[in-house]
Amino acid sequence: MTRARIVVDRDFTLGEVPRRIFGSFVEHMGRCVYTGVFEPGHPAADEDGFRTDVLELTREMGVSVVRYPGGNFVSGYRWEDGVGPVADRPRRLDGAWHTVESNAFGLHEFVAWAKKADVEVMEAINLGTRGVEAARELVEYANHPGGTALSDRRIANGAKDPFGIKLWCLGNEMDGPWQIGHKTADEYGRLAQEAAKAMRYVDSSLELVVCGSSGSLMPTFGAWEQTVLGHAYDEVDYVSMHAYYEESGTDHASFLASAVDMDHFIESVVATIDAVGAARKSRKKINISFDEWNVWYQGRDDADSPSQVGKSGWVEHPRLIEDVYTVTDAVVVGTFLNSLLRHGDRVTIANQAQLVNIIAPILTEPGGAAWRQSIFWPFARTSALAQGEILRLHVDSEVMDTPRYGDAALVDVSGTYDADAGTVALFLANRSVEEAADVEVDLRGLIAGQVLSAEVLTVPEGGDRHSVNAADDERVRLQPLGGVSLEGEGSVVRLRLPALSWSAVQLEVASA
């Protein structure tokens, strides 16, 4: 039996839970937009062609902000193609994903969809094939009230009120050689700096995200952030991070411990940001936008895998990287959410990539059903229960040895304390695939009155760690977690976590 002890102290917190860490991502890629969020003629489509079943699941997930329209797609995208009468919009070749883009869905449609989904818009601009002028013009079109050529064009296109978009990404993965308009760090840093200045000349209230390196394994990582911030530090508010993980071969232990690497990645970027700030003698604090993260099986070679991009010719919205997620994947996603919460003082925006069909928590069939993948559940419960302040927990857990990341705690935890509501929420993963875990939670300065909820996602009856959901069988889901008890007049909580599981427990608490 694995054992762990957690100390919760109401006085040790990191700060308020940043609601924007429960973000998602919609890119013009595969079937994320077309037959994902947008499918006119579908039985569940509304008057705007938006799939209401997907809208309902997006709201159920508790998504707070959605990044759009890319991703790799944005670095070859002309935003003007996606506005105005749909019949007049041009069809274009998208070189990023080797598809035909109809432009039937664009900025107006996305803003309308975001309003119905109750999410904030996070808009990305093209700094690959375009630059300062296009960025400035897009801000004017989207956000200026009226009385100018571009704002009046928006009004003529049906949007009297400005969109009021505050969050903007200055391009995407610009250090990646796969990127359309790939740049060196100096080239990109200067371009981002000037685009940021021009955009703020139009709307001074913008919050701007500069591209960090595309990943921690890139040869540019570290030096890229340092050089780019050397140019743009005073003009930006966030540095982007992207990370994807997958299980490969027989090394399931390293996969289950992937959040150890995520922790290290975040802390490395924070250190680089702060080193640049210190060298500049600046008191400004730049935070992190972890605007792409997920499990993504990039190593597979199925018909819809990344290696097959372009092999089917130029077609519209083909099936592309529609990964089907397992129990194991869901537990790992739960630990990623823990990592984001544990660093919520600096990671204040995060976007799981992507929302629908593309490595997504939601899958759909054209003309058919929409359903929840296994990874839907950790996101939905964490978003719902993580309220108030992030707890700075002390965790003493047995460890497992992993080939990639060394020792990793078998029990991975994050938690929040909502003083106004009188609740503590704990999010716990048991990484052991063989043994249950006995967990003791020691409350300091708090007394638990009752267990408000206790749920667990684990291997379903008759299944195994590779079990998945289907349209007609969502068997991998949250179930009641039994055996949660209060002892010591509410000062101690005891739990037993099943092997390979992710759990969410909410306690009613009062000050001791």
Which residues are designated catalytic? 173, 292
As a whole number of angstroms, the distance between CA 501 and CA 454 comes to 13
Give me the half-sphere count of Cα atoms (radius 13 Å) on the Cβ side of residue 333: 30
Q: Is 330 helix (H, G, I), strand (E, B) or coil?
A: helix
Residue of 25, 27, 49 whose CA lies nearest to 39: 49
Residue 152 phi/psi, 5-degree rounding, is: -70, -30
Residue 305: strand, helix, or coil:
coil
Residue 278 has which token pair? Answer: 């210190």
Four-CA torsion 198, 202, 206, 211, nearest 10 degrees: -20
Whole-angstrom CA distances from 367 to 30, 33, 35, 321, 356 are 16, 14, 8, 20, 15
Cβ atoms within 10 A of the Cβ of 118, count? Answer: 12
- Class of residue 156 by CB neighbours under 10 A (exposed 0-12, middle 13-18, buried 19+): exposed
Cβ atoms within 10 Å of 486's Cβ, excluding its own: 18
Pick from 451, 446, 438: nearest CA to 485 = 451
506 preceded by cis ω (within 30°)?
no
Q: CA dihedral defined by 320, 55, 106, 244, rounded to 10 degrees?
A: -40
| 437: amino acid identity, one letter | A
Say if residues 27 and 88 touch (Cβ distance below 8 Å). no
